Structure 1
Amino acid sequence: MDARGPLCVGIDPHAALLASWGLNDDIPGLEKFSRTVVEALADSVAVFKPQAAFFERFGSKGIAVLEQTVADARAAGTLVVMDAKRGDIGSTMAAYAETFLSPSSPLFSDALTVSPYLGYGSLEPAVELARRSGAGLFVLALTSNPEGAEVQRAVREDGRTIGATMLGHLAAENAGAAPMGSFGAVVGATLGDLSSFDLDINGPLLAPGIGAQGATAADLPAVFGAAVRNVVPNVSRGVLKHGPDAAALRASATRFADEIRAAVSA
């Protein structure tokens, strides 16, 4: 992020976006979309976040496109956060972890989004494999969707919210790591003042919501406070809507990165 700018760009090839690019909602359209985004931005964007579901909906051929997209992005030196939001128990969670966090997998990514709502301990297979592989996790903690509050703001018997509990677990995972640990939280940039939560988990904070969801770069300091320098701001539609023109994609990504850098520095 220091070298390339503080920006994560989503790769979200949903049907409406493919249509706006003049592409068909099929495998050739998916391939063209993904290749264009990677070729336009891979040498200048710090992080890509492919949304696995938009590839999986095409079956095995769509997953093959996702494999190629991950390989091309990582070959260009861009970090890949696989947005798959996996969450299960035991051997099933271990299998999900191997899919995305094992270096021998064609879908090996630098980090994976995971859901802790079968209990944080259910993530242990992913935590352990991430440690062995030099990868990381982004755990859903305080998400930008309004429905998330039903679970994440619920109060436990000890008086802590579920979201705060997840942040506490992540802080424990990252204890002693320098400059920070590899176990991050997903915290929405649209949530307003989060000063009641301890966001200092010594790890990265993946922040969706900038652009189409209404948050701006200028909102980041107020939302994240002293933890703002650990934020990985994600923009998807705000950048992707400028395709398929590669120059327009690059210009949009550069503009967002400049705005974020200025806001965080201030």
Structure 2
Amino acid sequence: MVLGDFPVLQYLGDIIDILIVWYVIYKIIMVIRGTKAVQLLKGITVVYVVRILSQYLGLKTLQQLMDQALTWGFLAVIIIFQPELRRALEQLGRGRIFARTMNQEDDEHVKMIDAIVKATEYMAKRRIGALVTIERETGMGDYIETGIPLHASISSELLINIFIPNTPLHDGAVIIQHDKVAAAACYLPLSESPFISKELGTRHRAAVGISEVTDSLTLVVSEETGSISIAKNGDLHRNLTVEQLKELLKSEFSQTKAASSSRWQWRTKKNG
């Protein structure tokens, strides 16, 4: 006996089939988010849309070009994103690709915030210069490649040791990706904004620069004054207290981000 003999069971089977497919797609998106693969998917979407339009408008030459791009694009994806595909398959083999829950992500965010705040407080009191960038939706793989790969679990002790003066990794930025210290001694683009105060140095310009081209959140500890600053969306918010830093990070990574952000008031001097 097959499900086709019972329309209700057939409909139920179709619903389950659709839900499983959507769940798999959702998990794939969660794996590739924040990587260069996201930009690739956007590019493929554009090519596919152009292909449909060219067919609808009768642009045969353009249609053939788009067909070739889609045909050979699959092979190009496998070659270009071989590391990401391998990581996804490894996670699938370990059962981790379906194991991550929202609670686990929240716990990781809490640990990350505590480590950053503790390290920042230590370095600010001793005027140890630091530059820490937290990756969000926009992938930062290109900038991670400029530094020394670490792929280490984040801790306040690790961050402090990285930025101790005259150590091999202290010069440059630390990039945090997926709640891990991805790399240290990374080079970030310097902002060319004329509105940045002349009293601010390279670290602050790099923090603003990376916030202009990505949606990252970048923390700066001044080596001269020990002041704490955050760069976001091209703006530099200066002279934060440790408590303000912690509240800001919590609001940014909270599940109820919109509500938290509406309650959060910038009580700092905004540069420019």
Q: TM-score, with normalisation over the residues of structure 2?
A: 0.29
* Greater helix share, structure number: 2
Q: Larger C-alpha radius of gyration, 1 or 2? A: 2
TM-score by length of 1: 0.29
